[in-house]
């Protein structure tokens, strides 16, 4: 059986204070039941009339899954869901991002200094504060990239560390009162090829599996990683196959590259990367029980 219900609500505000009345009337028809409700209240000196008649049709024959149709005579903005469904093929947490043969096309933060910045391929142009922060980070990352690219063996590795730490704000601001120094992040420098030379090991090309990989500088983008208290960036080296017919190139944070490293060097990599971002291993391990 299909029941047709029509409800009309009318709100009025009058001058009399403290007076509230309510009336209701019911009419039974063969096609269904019609109910009219009217409420009157006084709070201000203004009189406001709002009517929103609507018709509700419900199918009572299906108790387990009733069908409801709602139509309105006045336009009602119910919102529109414009979000796209997430790609189900995204790399799971804990699995390293695999670079394609063209390089690091999926990296999420460009080193090129543009003044506005870009994340995940989208330009960020929200406000001056955001532009200042992204511009300061990009400029700093580009300076670090040029410095380590000019060194055969980075100074950080000579100091027996993977990390490039910024100056503490107290000392940085004491030298120069520039707020950009407060945006400088930590950087993890990842170039394992020059580290495994001490063990007489080489990295093989994952594509052709015939030739070794040679160094090709550092990538022009960094990976942004979310940690517990802050963010840090991974500056990774790029390797290219020595075979002229192959010519494939890979980032050093590629899973196929990391799996060729000794276990004690693999565990030094500090992040879980996906196609859309990165988490530090500390954060990722904390979230593991929730999966």
Question: Does some domain include residue 244?
Answer: yes
Residue 133's pLDDT is: 77
Last residue of one domain, picked from the residues 34, 50, 70:
70
Instruction: Tell whether 63 is covered by a domain.
Output: yes
| Structure confidence at residue 194 (pLDDT) | 94
- The answer as to whether 95 is a domain residue is no
pLDDT given for residue 74 in this prediction? 43
pLDDT digits (tens, 9 = 90+) for 60-84: 444 444 443 444 444 444 444 433 3
What integer pLDDT is reported at residue 16 of this predicted model? 47
- Distances in Å between the Cα of 102 and the Cα atoms of 108, 150, 151 are 16, 23, 25
Q: How do the pLDDT tens digits run along the chain, 291 residues long? A: 444 444 444 444 444 444 444 444 444 444 444 444 444 444 444 444 444 444 444 444 444 444 434 444 444 444 444 333 334 333 333 333 333 334 444 344 454 333 334 444 455 445 666 777 788 899 999 999 999 999 999 999 999 999 999 989 889 888 888 888 888 999 999 999 999 988 889 999 999 999 999 999 999 889 999 999 999 999 999 999 999 889 899 999 999 999 999 999 999 999 999 888 899 999 999 998 887
- Count of domains observed in the chain: 2
Residues 266 and 178 in one domain: yes
User: Does some domain include residue 93?
Assistant: no
Q: 70, 100, 125 — which closes off a domain?
A: 70
pLDDT score at 181: 86
Same domain, residue pair 66 and 149? no
Q: Please indicate, yes or no, if residue 238 is contained in any of the structural domains.
A: yes
Indicate if 183 and 59 belong to the same structural domain. Answer: no
Q: Which pLDDT score is estimated for 274? A: 87
Domain holding 49, by residue range, is 2-70
Whether 51 and 151 map to the same domain: the answer is no
Are residues 152 and 60 part of one domain? no
Answer yes or no: do 242 and 144 share one domain.
Answer: yes
Do 282 and 148 fall within a single domain?
yes
Q: Which of 12, 39, 70 is the last residue of a domain?
A: 70
**Three-state secondary structure along the chain?**
CEEEEEEEEEEEECCCCCCCEEEEEEEEECCEEEEEEEEEECCCCCCCCEECCEEEEEECCCCCCCCEEEEECCCCCCCCCCCCCCCCCCCCCCCCCCCECEECCCCCEECCCCCCCEECCEECCCCHHHHHHHHHHHHHHHHHHHHHHCCCCCHHHHCCCCEECCCCHHHHHHHCCCHHHHHCCEEEEECHHHCHHHHCCCCECCCCCCCEEEEEEECCEEEEEECCCCEEEEEEEEEEECCCCCCCEEECCCHHHHCCCCHHHHCCCCEEECCCCEEEHHHHHHHHHHC
Do 159 and 42 have their domain in common?
no
Residues 148, 269: one domain? yes
> Same domain for 245 and 168?
yes
Are residues 57 and 150 located together in one domain of the fold? no
pTM for the full predicted model: 0.58
Residue 156 lies in a domain: yes
Q: Is residue 10 domain-resident? A: yes
Same-domain status, 143 and 272: yes
Q: For residue 110, is it within any domain?
A: no
């Amino acid at each position: 059986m299909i029941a047709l219900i029509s409800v009309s609500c009318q709100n009025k505000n009058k001058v009399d204070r403290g007076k509230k009345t309510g009336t209701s009337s019911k009419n039974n028809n063969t096609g269904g039941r019609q109910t009219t409700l009217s409420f009157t209240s006084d709070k201000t000196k203004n009189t406001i009339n709002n009517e929103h008649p609507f018709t509700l049709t419900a199918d009572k024959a299906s108790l387990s899954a009733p069908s409801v149709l709602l139509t309105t005579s006045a336009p009602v903005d119910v919102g529109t869901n414009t979000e796209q469904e997430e790609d189900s093929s995204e790399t799971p947490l804990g699995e390293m991002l695999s670079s394609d043969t063209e390089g690091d096309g999926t990296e999420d933060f460009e080193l090129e200094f543009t003044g506005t910045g870009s994340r995940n391929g989208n330009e960020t142009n929200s406000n001056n504060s955001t532009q200042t922060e992204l511009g300061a980070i990009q400029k700093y990352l580009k300076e670090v990239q040029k410095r380590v690219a000019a060194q055969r063996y980075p100074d950080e590795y000579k100091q027996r560390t993977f990390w490039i730490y910024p100056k503490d704000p107290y000392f940085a601001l004491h030298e120069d009162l520039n707020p950009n120094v407060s945006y400088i992040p930590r950087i993890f420098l990842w170039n394992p090829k020059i580290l495994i030379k001490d063990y007489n090991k080489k990295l093989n090309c994952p594509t052709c599996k015939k030739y070794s990989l040679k160094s090709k500088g550092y990538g022009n983008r960094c990976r942004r990683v979310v940690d517990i208290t802050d963010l840090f960036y991974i500056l990774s080296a790029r390797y290219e196959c020595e075979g002229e017919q192959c010519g494939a190139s890979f980032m050093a944070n590629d899973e196929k590259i990391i799996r060729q490293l000794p276990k004690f060097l693999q565990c030094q990599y500090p992040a879980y990367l996906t196609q859309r971002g990165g988490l530090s291993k500390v954060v990722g391990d904390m979230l593991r029980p929730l999966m």
